[in-house]
Structure 1
Amino acid sequence: MNLADRLHTAAARLGGRAVLTLDEAQLTYGTLDELSARLAGLLRCRGIGPGDRVAIMLPNVPEFGVVYYGVLRAGAVVVPLDPLLKRREIAAYLGDCRARLLIAWHAFAETAEAGAAGTDCFFVVPGEFRRLLRGVAAEHEVADMEHDDTAVIHYTSGTTGRPKGIELTHANLGGNAATVARMHALGVDDVVLGALPLYHTFGQTCSLNATVHAGARLTLLGRFDPGRALEVIRRDGVTVFQGVPTMFIALLDHPGASDMSMLRVCASGGAALPLDVLRAYETRFGCEIVEGYGLSETSPVAATNRGGAHRRAGSIGWPIRGVEMKIVGDDGRELPAGEIGEIVVRGPNVMKGYWNDPAATAEVIRDGWFHTGDLGRVDGDGYFFLVDRRRDVIIRGGYTVYPREVEEVLYEHPAVRQAAVFGVPHPGLGEEIEAVVALRAPVTCEELRDFVRERVAAYKYPRHVSFVDELPMSPTGKILKRALPRLRAGTYG
């Protein structure tokens, strides 16, 4: 099997229908299939074949699809990189995977070339790119790959140490995309908002690959801006919006946001969605958000809520078809319902392993179960709940505090737009609780501290609250707690 077969099959029946659009730019299924075949031909001319690594550093543009499926079509391995990486980071990733070629967007040519340091580079320039490919013989045959052959190497963000290359197979990605398309009942009349970065596994599987699998259309956003997103949703008749919590929060705060009941599916992932945001979308916008859960190592979807009567607010739902999940203690034994432990996952979505790092692979995949490092619980009906990341848990004076619980309370305050809670060293208690908040309306540190103190146990409320204009975000929209400034404008209470 080859993930690129999905595009080839879709093109045979939907050749003239649009698959990728960005404002006025458009690619039909037939054109995308043909251009990707020519890209595969170009790679073959350069001596690149099955198993070779090709890094791609492209923003959310239709050309991403051409390069992505072209590399896969040739049997090579896609190594997607954030276009905003710096020279040193590019050099580290390319050196680690021993890439044969770097295909980068023209606007990042200088940085990409400096980071490539010996790796061959190819730059995508709109207009010129198509003219170049027209002069290349198309490689119409899709390389025959085994289901466990590596299709993509995703590099971790490095928030937990040295970045590792996550090897995802054709079966991992193809199966996960098919499951997403089936769960959301995607069809040829659907328009998916491409707000998630395509270089990340969430955007790649749930937006690009699931759209192609279903024969739908993906309308792209170069970068997420709430006003621009609303414009595209209305202009293009978007029916499916997949995003991270910060995107949903930004839309909620935008003055132009109103009825969005035209959205058939709203799916949130990447981080926990505050319950107040979920409720606000129902009451103000008339649309329901379903939460999912997964990691890059799980392709990425491992579990999701279902819509309607099957949804349980605040839950990540239950595992997707073919996937098992359970909660285990430190000894690896399964815990009873209600107890908090580590979430472990087993199934066809779990990665092949970390690239050239068997020790790191053995550390997280034990007895066939992938250990996520996330803490959760499961209720008596089988619904799973994400509690927090194990590394984020705060131990204050011997008491365990889960930051997400405190953040949920902060989000209940009408003045709070974004919130992050974390532990800071304390000589007597081990750790003290701190909150950094971005506001939508004026409020004092003391008022917020008192608001939380009234709603949680005495050892849980933040003794210090700092204000910032915006919380630092990763390129995929996650709040970067490690980058939070330790502002100490207030006093401990």
Structure 2
Amino acid sequence: MSAISNLTIPDLLHARAQADPEREALIVHGGGSGAFGARPGSLTFAEWDRGAAEVARGLAGRGVGRGDRVGLVFGNGDWIDYAVAFCGVTAAGAVAVPLSDRLAEAEIDAALAHCGAATVLRPGDLPLGGGAEPKAARPGDVAQILLTSGTTGRPKGVAATHANLTFGHGGRRRPFAHSAHLAHAFPIGTNAGQTMLVTALSAHPATVTLPRFTPGRFAALIEEYHAGTVFLVPAMAVELLAAGVQDRHDLSCVRLLGSAAAPLPAPVAERLCTAFPRAAIVNYYTSTESYPAQTIMMYDPDRPGSVGQAVGGGTVKIATAAGEPVPAGVTGEVWLRSPAAPRAYWADERGSREVFRDGWVRMGDLGRLDEEGYLYLVDRESDVIKSGAFKVSTLHVEETAHECPGVREAAAFGVPHPTLGMSVALALVGSVTPQELRLFLADRLAPHERPARVVLMDALPRNHAGKVDKRLLREGAR
């Protein structure tokens, strides 16, 4: 297969439907079947292909054609109808704009306006047939516009072509062949969720998810389907461990447990090794802008803070803001590059020029590479706390706090200080007291890294992608 894919999303789906027509592709455990699927909560590849073709013709009948943007507002219980709608939109040559129905209506309206989406599809409102056969999409056509998480500013639309989305798919090898089922709980409208959707088109296992994540339900799903591959975000991992699901469910079926969308603290990864005794715990580092460029790290106690090496023909470098590489061991900006067709911001040429350069993507993170090419993140560039003459890594503070017994979750952030400019604050979820935590950290953190303020919370504020919203933490601490 060439470096740049010559396939489209409809190509992938149609080829899989021809090869495995009656094989289950998607399962929503406890979810309704919606408009598609002969079995409740299940969709075969043949049903997926037929449904997508019907939606494409229905959109053509509504006058939707190549390049038109179509909003897709669906909830996690609607994965089957959503998958059919997404592939139907791309089969019509149009551009899908995936959005979670958990977003506020104002956020949905702003996203649709930004992308210029004149048509919006929701559950129960899918056009079926009635139009002429749409013109086929081309690999270089934009297939989706995905909104960023917005943790460091207003969400931006990231455009990806068919060639970008299908890169690495369509070969004879079926990924995750060790599994009959792949379980995940990623929300619709996120890069992780979209990755699972496209993966379902080419992977060996059927993809199974559930309408709403709870630790007990997700563990029961893993056990019932004997899932060999599991994907989650770190927040879900923390909830699974806190609930002690490994004491009530047999999780020995899992061979690969992947964590994505946010850094996985090493203490959490270590506890996952015990809860999932036969699984490789793997951390995936990427972004909506850079995918499929990514680094992958199987948890290694000898490299507890690393997010791994670049894979899939990609490259990682540490460089200046101008893109000039810096030596191993020196902290700088993290840049990723993939051989796939690159992404770009939608209707934002200035923003694209700042982030996307000659195939490289500025990740917005600070990090360093060791002599063997392993990447270590220092912090989000926007999260670094400048306290007096020092720069404090919030990731380092959080990682150290997670080592304290009784800490379930920790998020460090900066708050104003009258003389230092900024000082460290720590939002904490768990059974430990602020006094106990400060005592634990006293000889583990430098004076300028120790939290001047500890805020006890029932839960950390997160966006719909599962990432901690530090802007809300900063605003709440004022």
The answer, yes or no, to whether TM exceeds 0.5 is yes
- The runs of 5 or more residues in structure 2 that have no matched partner are 1-6, 30-39
Residue matched to 1:34: 50
| 1:158 equivalent in alignment to 2:176 | no
Residue matched to 1:318: 309
Q: Give the secondary-structure state (helix, strand or coil) at the position aligned to 1:477.
A: coil
Pairwise CA distance, 1:281: 1.6
Q: Give the secondary-structure state (helix, strand or coil) at the position aligned to 2:245.
A: coil
| 1:362 equivalent in alignment to 2:353 | yes
> Cα distance 1:467–1:485, how it changes in 2: closer, same or farther (>3 A)?
farther
* Candidates 10, 18, 22, aligned match of 2:28: 22
> Cα distance 1:473–1:350, how it changes in 2: closer, same or farther (>3 A)?
farther
Q: Give the secondary-structure state (helix, strand or coil) at the position aligned to 1:392.
A: coil
* Candidates 174, 189, 203, aligned match of 2:193: 203
Pairwise CA distance, 1:301: 4.6
Q: One-letter code of the match for 2:143?
A: A
Partners of 1:210 and 1:245 lie apart in 2 by: 20
| 1:49 equivalent in alignment to 2:49 | no
Partners of 1:295 and 1:270 lie apart in 2 by: 7
Q: Which moved more, 1:478-487 or 1:8-17?
A: 478-487
Q: Which moved more, 1:23-32 or 1:362-371?
A: 362-371
* Candidates 271, 290, 297, aligned match of 1:280: 271
* Candidates 82, 90, 94, aligned match of 2:100: 82
Partners of 2:312 and 2:474 lie apart in 1 by: 42
Asked if structure 1 preserves the Cα contact closer than 8 Å seen for 2:319 and 2:335, the reply is yes
| 1:94 equivalent in alignment to 2:80 | no
Residue matched to 1:221: 210
> Cα distance 1:228–1:301, how it changes in 2: closer, same or farther (>3 A)?
farther
Residue matched to 2:34: none
**What is the aligned-residue RMSD (CA, Å)?**
2.5
Q: One-letter code of the match for 2:142?
A: T
Residue matched to 1:456: 445
Alignment deviations for residues 83-133 of structure 1 (CA, whole Å, 9 cap, x no partner): 122232222222221113100135xxxxxxxxxxxxxxxx35xxxxxxx73
Partners of 2:239 and 2:169 lie apart in 1 by: 27
Residue matched to 2:13: 7
Q: One-letter code of the match for 1:151?
A: A
> Cα distance 1:368–1:488, how it changes in 2: closer, same or farther (>3 A)?
closer
What is the aligned length?
457
Alignment deviations for residues 177-197 of structure 1 (CA, whole Å, 9 cap, x no partner): 569x97x94239531113101
Q: Which moved more, 1:299-308 or 1:349-358?
A: 299-308
Q: Give the secondary-structure state (helix, strand or coil) at the position aligned to 1:305.
A: strand
Alignment deviations for residues 172-221 of structure 1 (CA, whole Å, 9 cap, x no partner): 11115569x97x9423953111310132111111x111121124311121
Pairwise CA distance, 1:68: 0.7
Asked if structure 2 preserves the Cα contact closer than 8 Å seen for 1:303 and 1:320, the reply is yes
Residue matched to 1:113: none
Q: TM-score, normalised by structure 1?
A: 0.87
- The runs of 5 or more residues in structure 1 that have no matched partner are 107-122, 125-131
Alignment deviations for residues 427-484 of structure 1 (CA, whole Å, 9 cap, x no partner): 2001111101011x2x321211121121111211111111010111111111111112
Partners of 2:320 and 2:367 lie apart in 1 by: 11
Q: Give the secondary-structure state (helix, strand or coil) at the position aligned to 2:9.
A: coil
Q: One-letter code of the match for 1:101?
A: T
Residue matched to 1:302: 294
Asked if structure 2 preserves the Cα contact closer than 8 Å seen for 1:19 and 1:28, the reply is yes
**Percent identical:** 37
Q: One-letter code of the match for 1:484?
A: L
> Cα distance 1:203–1:423, how it changes in 2: closer, same or farther (>3 A)?
same
Asked if structure 1 preserves the Cα contact closer than 8 Å seen for 2:147 and 2:190, the reply is no
Q: Give the secondary-structure state (helix, strand or coil) at the position aligned to 2:422.
A: strand
Which structure has more relative contact order (CA 8 Å, sep 6+)? It is 2
Alignment deviations for residues 327-381 of structure 1 (CA, whole Å, 9 cap, x no partner): 0134532111111111012223464311111111111123442111111111111
| 1:444 equivalent in alignment to 2:436 | no
Q: TM-score, normalised by structure 2?
A: 0.90
| 1:335 equivalent in alignment to 2:326 | yes
